[in-house]
Amino acid sequence: MEWAVKIHDLLKADDPHALEDLLKRLDIHKEDISKMDEAAKKMFLPHDDALGIDMQDDSFLSKKSLGFRKDTEGSLSFIAALPSFNHIPLSSSKTA
């Protein structure tokens, strides 16, 4: 939301006609921009500089690990850490 407000302000200064056209096409009203700005200022998005991550909440780092592991190419793989779900059908063959 913070970036939406920044872009709004940049467009307003640089090309007000383009801004008005964009707001009209997206059905966004001036009050919506004010509400976005207010909401963005009230949000708390914790960030850990040491790890370089945005946490989901302020207790994120104290939660139990889900078991991510590095795959053969060295990138983290969540799917590889999950149990197999091969027994679950991916589609249904029901007919009406």
Cα separation of 11 and 54, whole Å? 28
Q: What is the pLDDT of residues 51-93, one digit of tens each?
A: 888 887 778 778 777 666 655 565 655 655 556 655 566 555 5
Cα separation of 36 and 38, whole Å? 5
Q: Is residue 72 situated within a structural domain?
A: yes
Higher pLDDT, 49 or 25: 25
Q: Is residue 86 situated within a structural domain?
A: no
Q: Is residue 51 situated within a structural domain?
A: yes
Residue-level pLDDT at 55: 82
Q: Is the pLDDT of residue 8 over 60?
A: yes
Per the structure, the complete domain to which residue 62 belongs is given by: 2-81
Q: Is residue 94 situated within a structural domain?
A: no
Q: Is residue 60 situated within a structural domain?
A: yes
Q: What is the pTM of this model?
A: 0.51
Q: Is residue 24 situated within a structural domain?
A: yes
Q: How many domains are contained in the chain? A: 1
